[in-house]
Chains A and B, each alone.
Chain A
Amino acid sequence: MSNVPADLKYARSHEWVRELADGTVEVGISDHAQHALGDLVFVEVPATGRALEQGDACAVVESVKAASDVYAPLAGTVVAVNEALAKSPELINQDPYGAGWILRLRPADAAAKASLLNADSYAAVAEAG
């Protein structure tokens, strides 16, 4: 059974969102998603400063098996990316909610977070496959 921390929000497309104290959000992919992908070998992150609409393909996670897009769970501007993933993509497998974070966004609309799923709802989505 995959790990779905209760303090995070989720998108149906298997990204997680953590609200940070400075008003930005951290984004990564869920434990369910990394498990389904298998061992990651490359991660492509967006340029800092890029403006994203909700649902934009903004990163690529590539495993031994397949490449998958990561979608922006919220509209906003990329304020930071996890540079460590260039050398160590396996951080996403090892610690998907911590050291395996992918990017930080400044949301365009603070209220948009309400559209995200809570942990229970996401767990049901992940369970359904």
Chain B
Amino acid sequence: MGLRTPLYDLHVALGARLVDFGGWDLPVNFGSQIEEHHAVRRGAGIFDVSHMGVVDLRGPRVREFLRRLLANDVARLQLPGKALYSCMLKEDSGILDDLIVYFLDEQWFRVVVNAGTRSKDLAWIRAKAGPFEVAVQERSELAMLAVQGPEARTRLAALLDPAAAEAALGLAVFQGRMLGDWFVARTGYTGEDGFEVMVPAAEAAGLWSRLNELGVQSCGLGARDTLRLEAGMNLYGSDMDETTQPLDSGLAWTVAFEPTDRQFIGRAALEGARSAGGGRKLVGLALNDRAVMRSHQRVVTAAGDGEITSGTFSPTLSRSIALARLPSAAAAPGGVVEVDVRGRLFAAHIVRPPFVRHGRAMVEL
């Protein structure tokens, strides 16, 4: 038996097919993964993401600490509630995790980390926090739900009192705020608009059921994966890990090299890699034949072999899409490579992710 979120009993009652995900028993689907996927692109769906780690960091020097800890720069967070996506690197620039950090007030930031890395992350953060006198508190008493899709925000707002609803609907993209006991943020992992909501564990099942009553589709990890891949978002452990760094993981845009005097962990190694050039790049691939690219398949290019890091069938585009790490010399968008799918080579086009955003195809097929 694996770890269970506060929504486990409800998932079972709803007929979810459960799988082990990093030690957690979580729904992979509630019937049809493709229907769940389309519900999020066209209406609204709800995901249990309570397995993710919510960590509060408090203290007068918390901003200074995070400017050292993270490759992106929390100096960019000036509006209360604003969020930033960042990698947390080792000294050698290997990616320990990718995370979202929220600026709540000058003494309080909240970080959301991946489930599979949460204990490693906590140990790392605690070790680095000491000199800055930052208190590190894991908020495992909270459940987290993601409500995603073009109708997601109005569905959730319908459950709030008028003042809270107005505040929730007034949130900017990548901004969150406390609404009573709840933390509501306009973030997600699907390429659609929506909210991620942290609530006390005891309130999670009631919230889920009320959203179902409003027509919000229960969704599992299967749809979460196809949605995030269409959105061109990396999955930690598949598209990146401690052996890769942001520049070869499609995440150069998340590294704040300016100002040049900010000494974040991993900076020296990353600058070395940047000036050396070459190396590898993470790109998008789209395949027009009737075959599905899968992780670890070999990609044949003129500059040597690369590898699929995530591949699937895209329900929105009705063809296979993938992220792949290729030799930089063969990674330019518009190029064509070959992918070894079960012993046969298929031509795939290099494209710039995202593949799908707000329900619309973003790549020429």
Contacts and interface: CB of A to CB of B under 8 A. Distances in A.
Interface of A: 35, 38-39, 41-42, 44, 60, 62, 64-67, 93
Contacts of A60: 342
A64 B222 contact: yes
Q: Say what secondary structure dominates the interface of chain B.
A: mixed
Interface of B: 17, 28-29, 32-34, 222, 226, 290-292, 294, 312-313, 315, 342
A62 B34 contact: no
B222 A62 contact: no
B291 A64 contact: no
Given A64-B33, A64-B34, A64-B313, A38 B222 contact: yes
18 contacts: A38-B28, A38-B29, A38-B222, A39-B32, A39-B33, A41-B313, A42-B291, A42-B292, A44-B290, A62-B291, A62-B313, A64-B34, A64-B226, A64-B315, A65-B222, A67-B292, A67-B294, A93-B32
A46 to B, nearest CB: 15
Interface centre among A38, A39, A41, A93 (most CB of B within 10 A): A39
A60 B343 CA distance: 13
Contacts of B28: 38
Contacts of A93: 32
A93 B33 CA distance: 12
Contacts, number: 33
A93 B34 CA distance: 12
A38 B222 CA distance: 9
Nearest to A36: B17
Given A42-B291, A62-B292, A64-B313, 14 more contacts: A35-B17, A38-B28, A38-B29, A38-B33, A42-B290, A62-B291, A64-B33, A64-B34, A64-B222, A64-B226, A64-B312, A66-B294, A67-B292, A67-B294
Q: Which 10 A-B pairs have the closest CB atoms?
A: A41-B313, A39-B34, A42-B290, A39-B33, A64-B313, A64-B33, A62-B292, A38-B33, A39-B32, A67-B342
Interface centre among A62, A64, A65, A67 (most CB of B within 10 A): A64
B343 to A, nearest CB: 11
Contacts of A44: 290
Nearest to A44: B290
A32 to B, nearest CB: 12
A38 B36 CA distance: 12
Contacts of B291: 42, 62
Nearest to B315: A64
A72 B29 CA distance: 30
Interface centre among B17, B34, B291, B315 (most CB of A within 10 A): B34
Contacts of A67: 292, 294, 342
Contact of A41 (B17, B29, B222, B292): B292
A62 B32 CA distance: 15
Contacts of A62: 291-292, 313
Contacts of A41: 292, 313
A120 to B, nearest CB: 24
B355 to A, nearest CB: 15
Nearest to A38: B33
